[in-house]
Amino acid sequence: MNNFIYENTTKVYFGRGCVREFLACLVKEYDTVMFAYGGGSVKKNGIYDEVLNILQKEGKNVVEFSGIMQYPTYEKVLEGARLARENHVNMILGVGGGSVMDCCKAVSLAAVYEGDAWENFWERSAIIDFEPLPVGVVVTAAGTGSECNGGAVITNEEAKVRTGRDYPKCNPRFALMDPSYTYSVPERQTVAGGFDTLSHIMETYFSEPDTDNVSDDIAEALMRGVIRDLRAAIQNPEDYTARSNLMWEAAMAENRLIKLGKKCDFTCHQIEHQLGAYTDCNHGCVLAVLHPVYYRHIYREGLPKFRRFAQNVWNISRDGKNDAELAEAGIDALAGFIREIGLPATLRDLGMKGKGLLKEIADSCKLSSGSYKKMTQQEVLEILEECF
């Protein structure tokens, strides 16, 4: 394995009833808590009332920050930062899925930084030499794994750029993960979130090194688990075993553990980010469209790993196949699974009307240095056109 340093400062409280059991003691030292959430779903399913009652019972000054959109914008981050400063917030509690958690982490940084946070922390990576506001999260949807890292994906609408950075200082202090909170998540969102988890794992797995290593071994187990558990959750949305597995698989995919010693190839996420910056397509759905097409462009350069993927994740026997045929069978199995769980196969399925923006989107994509194949903007355009 390659050299690495590992740290994860987020303390996880996992299981049914963990919010009722632990939230009060976790916010005890903070006087003013920003209660951040998205749309109305947390009010419909009772999670809002449960969290608010605990905060009020503990005598906290609660500042609500609502309306966090599916893809948080930098404008929304600045709104939250102003609210935090004006109300002397000393702790942010994000209740929701990945978008809420990402926005809270970005707010925690922008609220105490006097310069241009976008220019200095999202346009480029930087070193944070100050303490962001502490963040805690209550997870209500599985998929992004944002609860166990310092990552935040933010959209600058004016510049038409969506980008993500992972700053360990922005890691949540704690994550409360009650799988039963995900029961009310609609099937489409559950499936898209599950595929986002699978995408995170694949983008780490399909990168060097290709020699035997612990990270790849764990990644294969996680991929098999996501496939199994998504099927079970579709069959029964209140299957606690499936829901709890999906929630922890999402966290494991993005708590940096399987990335240790790996180069990582986030090409599909980079392309999706820019598609999302120009359109409003669902994150997990776009990833489902992109992955099989992208992998058919690169599998020959990463043949040993794609062969292993077919055999160890999809249980495809060699049965007279050469390496290329075995690798192709694994990619076909992935595409078949995407169809099985009802995710789209083309950008047209997602409502894209024409190809007019594709070149501009391709030209704006950042290229991942971890790809098995040296990509170009022209090949990104070819991938997008094939996806259309």
pLDDT in tens, 121-154: 999 899 999 999 999 999 999 999 999 999 999 9
- pLDDT of amino acid 279: 76
pLDDT in tens, 226-254: 999 999 999 999 999 999 999 999 999 99
Mean pLDDT for the stretch of residues 306-318: 97
The reported pLDDT for the residue numbered 350 is 87
Sheet holding 135-139, edge to edge: 11-14, 174-177, 135-139, 91-96, 32-36, 61-65
Q: Token pair 């959209």 is at which residue?
A: 155
pLDDT, residue 191, reads: 96
For the chain, domains (ranges, CATH) are 11-181 (3.40.50.1970), 187-387 (1.20.1090.10)
Helix spans in the chain (H): 18-26, 41-44, 47-57, 74-86, 98-110, 117, 187-205, 214-235, 240-254, 267-278, 283-298, 303-312, 323-340, 358-364, 377-387
The CA distance from 277 to 297, in Å, is: 24
pLDDT at 129: 93
Sequence-separated (6 or more) residues with CB below 8 Å from residue 14: 177, 244, 247, 248
198-207: average pLDDT = 98
288 in helix, strand or coil? helix
Q: Does residue 280 register a pLDDT over 80?
A: no
Q: Does residue 277 carry a pLDDT above 80?
A: no
Confidence of residue 27 (pLDDT cuts 50, 70, 90): very high
Residue 6: its pLDDT value, please?
87
Weakest mean pLDDT among 232-236, 274-278, 281-285, 289-293: 274-278
Q: What share of the chain is helix, strand, coil (3-state, %, to 5)?
A: 50, 10, 40
Report pTM: 0.94
Contacts of 211 (CB under 8 A, 6+ apart): none
Q: How confident is the model at residue 382 (pLDDT cuts 50, 70, 90)?
A: very high
What is the rounded average pLDDT for all residues in the chain?
95
Cα(first)–Cα(last) distance of the chain, in Å? 38
Round to whole Å and give the CA distance between 201 and 204. Answer: 5
Arithmetic mean of pLDDT, 204-220: 96
C-alpha 106 chain-centroid distance: 15
Q: How confident is the model at residue 2 (pLDDT cuts 50, 70, 90)?
A: confident
Cis peptide before 209 (omega within 30 of 0): yes
Tokens of 291: 């992955």
Of the pLDDT bands very low, low, confident and very high (cuts 50, 70, 90), residue 161 is: confident
Q: What is the pLDDT of residue 176?
A: 98
pLDDT (tens digit, 9 = 90+) per residue, 52-109?
A: 999 999 999 999 999 999 889 999 999 999 999 999 999 999 999 999 999 999 999 9
Chain-centre distance for alpha carbon 231 = 20
Whether the predicted pLDDT of 220 surpasses 90: yes
